[in-house]
């Protein structure tokens, strides 16, 4: 059974720092992995999608990597800003079930001005 | 560009009352559509997904139902709400080539 874990559950860093959020999964037979952010009381915003054949994706200050063999993905945020404060979620889409995503519990990120 | 609309944003309903939440997608055709629920302090739970009109699968047995009367319209319904139906409901869509998932803004449902 696929399980997705995000560590740490919460993270607080000063503005301007580079930081890494972690997502690990137990079964490497994934279709893709997607990173989202969620602001309090809001829907989820898609950040980056990495297909199983890809190693990384970049968008602005965000870079997501995928290592299927070790069951890990990281989301790198460069030069963090207070507006980056949110909960970050990763989700894995399974190979044998295109419609079911397995979700991590999220990392709550606070960027201190 | 594609957009997803979900309404209402908040809803307070008494126990036993009916429910209808609506979601529409613009700018794409034949999307896969999803309803999720996010309970307070908990993860996302997939309720329903649809790969086409009249093709809806339920992931969790409950007193909720879903319908897809048009290609880009997805409706979540209940005939009689329970207290346990309270939560944050999210509609989402994905395309069929890379399955990237996009979410609506959510509906906060409180059943009292």
In chain A, residues with a C-beta closer than 8 Å to the C-beta of B1 are: none
Instruction: Check pLDDT > 80 for residue A110.
Output: yes
- Nearest residue in chain A measured CA to CA from B37: A43
Give the Cα separation of B20 and B9 in Å (integer).
Answer: 12
Residue A46 to residue B102, Cβ atoms within 8 A: yes
Torsions phi, psi for B83 (to 5 deg): -55, -35
pLDDT (tens digit, 9 = 90+) per residue, A35-59?
999 999 899 999 999 999 999 999 9
Instruction: Check pLDDT > 80 for residue A96.
Output: no
Instruction: Check pLDDT > 80 for residue B67.
Output: yes
What's the rounded mean pLDDT across residues B35-51? 88
pLDDT (tens digit, 9 = 90+) per residue, A11-35?
999 999 999 999 999 999 999 999 9
**Percentage of residues in chain B with pLDDT exceeding 90?**
74
Instruction: Check pLDDT > 70 for residue B50.
Output: yes
In chain B, residues with a C-beta closer than 8 Å to the C-beta of A99 are: 32, 34, 46, 49, 51, 57
On average, the pLDDT of chain B sits at 92
What's the rounded mean pLDDT across residues B82-101? 91
* Pairing relationship of beta strands A86-94 and B3-7 according to DSSP bridges: unpaired
Residue B100 to residue A46, Cβ atoms within 8 A: yes
A46 at interface of B, judged by CB pairs closer than 8 A: yes
B106 at interface of A, judged by CB pairs closer than 8 A: yes
Confidence of residue B76 (pLDDT cuts 50, 70, 90): very high
Nearest residue to B17 via CA among B101, B109, B89, B93 = B109
Q: Cβ neighbours of residue A40 under 8 Å, at least 6 residues apart? A: none
Beta-bridge partners for A20: A76
Q: Cβ neighbours of residue A15 under 8 Å, at least 6 residues apart? A: A80, A81, A82, A111, A112, A113
- Nearest residue in chain B measured CA to CA from A104: B43
């Amino acid at each position: 059974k696929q399980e997705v874990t995000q560590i740490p559950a919460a993270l607080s860093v000063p503005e301007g720092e580079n930081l890494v959020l972690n997502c690990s999964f137990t079964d490497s037979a994934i279709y893709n992995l997607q990173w989202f952010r969620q602001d309090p009381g809001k829907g989820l915003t898609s950040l980056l999608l990495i297909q199983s054949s890809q190693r990384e994706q970049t968008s602005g200050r965000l870079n997501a990597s995928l290592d299927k063999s070790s069951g890990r993905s990281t989301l790198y945020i460069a030069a963090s800003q207070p507006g980056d404060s949110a909960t970050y979620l990763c989700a894995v889409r399974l190979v044998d079930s295109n419609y079911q995503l397995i979700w991590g519990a999220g990392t709550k990120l606070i960027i201190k001005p | 560009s594609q957009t997803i609309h979900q309404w209402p944003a908040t809803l307070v309903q008494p126990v036993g009352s009916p429910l209808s939440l609506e979601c529409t997608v613009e700018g794409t055709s034949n999307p896969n559509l999803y309803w999720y629920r996010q309970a307070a302090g908990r993860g996302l739970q997939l309720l329903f997904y649809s790969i086409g009109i009249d093709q809806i699968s339920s992931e969790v047995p409950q007193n909720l139902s879903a319908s897809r009367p048009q290609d880009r319209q997805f409706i979540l319904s209940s005939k009689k709400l329970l207290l346990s139906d309270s939560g944050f409901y999210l509609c989402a869509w994905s395309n069929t080539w890379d399955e990237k998932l996009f979410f609506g803004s959510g509906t906060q449902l409180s059943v009292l």
